[in-house]
Structure 1
Amino acid sequence: MSGSQALKADALDFAGDTATYALSLFVIGASLRTRALASLIKGASLAAIAIAVLGMTVLRVMNGAPPEAATMGVVGFLALSANVASVLILLRWRDGDSNVRSVWLCSRNDAIGNVGVIVAGGVVALTGTAWPDLLVAALLAGLFLKSASAITLQALRELNTTGASHATPVESSS
């Protein structure tokens, strides 16, 4: 309703997080291999969200109409309140396996995104232009891609570790 790309990016990330949290809870007691495979799915979905946000932002550059700053600020503040609570709860698991780390990264990204939406809303209100909103949307897409890469790389390392532990030892020829 606000016409904000940054708020849309934040909302898409929230939707993706819902699926991420459900998948994380589903595999939490599973083997490291299963959790790492789930993390690969989460990394791919986060990358897809980033690409969608970038695409929508590029399309919005052509339109250039400024979003509604007040809606951006109010929704951003409400979302930030919820995400700060989540981040504080998840803080102790930020260095866990790829499954729990992905939940931490998603929550952290949400809080960063909320602050970005609030700031962009304020600058949109001051300038009357769409550029602050578009810049924050592009920055969020970059953050999503960076997190997707980190989740995917850690999951691949964990898969390599679990694959190596299941390998048959090679007999020595001496």
Structure 2
Amino acid sequence: MPCDCSHASANTENERKTLRVALVLNATMFVVGMAAGLWAQSSGLMADALDMLTDATAYGLGLMAVTRGMRFKQYSARWTGATLMLLSAGIIADVIRRFVFGSDPLGAMMVGFSILSLCVNVTVLRMLAKYRGGEVHMRASWICTRTDVVANFGVLASGLVVLATGWRYADLVVGLTIAIYVAKEAAEIWRQTHHQGGGVSALSER
């Protein structure tokens, strides 16, 4: 049987290039988003920025997993899921803090950053779309990016509400909604890793 090594090598390099670009974009947006969230006093923006950090972590783990065995790829995806769950808990804590102590979110800042963030995430999602049915570490990266796109729309909607009405609770509602959605996506990643783990034990040891 002829070896298809060159094809496999090309696929591996394509995965690496995609994950590198995604990592740089998300790490940059995390820094910008956290600064914007603190300035705008917005739980939604900070949640979105932390979600970017989670994605950057997922892409970094994905890069390490590209040339590794299946067991490492499963573990990297599980770490991604665990990080998402921690993010969800952190968002809920911030929402509670702002609900108790109050906040004055800036609607214009929320709208501006959410549009920028949405453009970045849609770009990355399109890059990862061809891997959505691939190995578990790449599927986890695609799921994380899909989560970001949904979160971006939520922040955009709440920013418009705050900008139009000044109702600060819209920001808290979106922050809480993002937390619940992030937890759901984390559970999906874990479910996929456990499902795939049933038939790969022999291969993962190679």
TM-score (norm 1): 0.89
Aligned to 2:103: 65
C-alpha distance in 1 between matches for 2:133 and 2:165:
40
**Is the counterpart of residue 140 in structure 1 residue 178 in structure 2?**
yes
Q: Which has the bigger relative contact order, CA under 8 A and spacing at least 6?
A: 1
The one-letter code matched in structure 1 to 2:48 is: D
SS in 1 for 2:115: helix
Task: Return the offset for 1:50.
Answer: 0.6
Identity of aligned residues (%): 29
Out of 117, 121, 128, the residue aligned to residue 166 of structure 2 is: 128
The one-letter code matched in structure 2 to 1:11 is: A
Out of 104, 110, 114, the residue aligned to residue 76 of structure 1 is: 114
**Is the counterpart of residue 19 in structure 1 residue 57 in structure 2?**
yes
Relative to structure 1, the CA distance from residue 58 to residue 137 in structure 2 (aligned partners, 3 Å threshold; closer, same or farther) is same
TM-score (norm 2): 0.76
Task: Return the offset for 1:61.
Answer: 1.0
Give CA deviations for 1:109-131 in whole Å, capped at 9, x if unaligned.
11111111111100011221211
SS in 1 for 2:113: helix
Aligned to 2:20: none
Out of 100, 117, 127, the residue aligned to residue 138 of structure 2 is: 100
In structure 1, list runs of 5 or more residues that go unmatched.
167-174
Indicate conservation of the 8 Å contact 1:66/1:129, yes or no. Answer: no
The one-letter code matched in structure 2 to 1:143 is: Y
SS in 2 for 1:161: coil
Aligned to 2:83: 45
SS in 2 for 1:132: helix
Aligned to 1:85: 123
SS in 1 for 2:134: coil
C-alpha distance in 2 between matches for 1:37 and 1:79:
28
The one-letter code matched in structure 2 to 1:159 is: G
C-alpha distance in 2 between matches for 1:161 and 1:91:
25
Instruction: Let me know the Cα RMSD of the aligned residues.
Output: 1.3
Aligned to 2:7: none
Aligned to 2:15: none
Task: Return the offset for 1:98.
Answer: 2.0
SS in 2 for 1:95: coil
**Is the counterpart of residue 33 in structure 1 residue 71 in structure 2?**
yes
The one-letter code matched in structure 1 to 2:57 is: A
SS in 1 for 2:40: coil
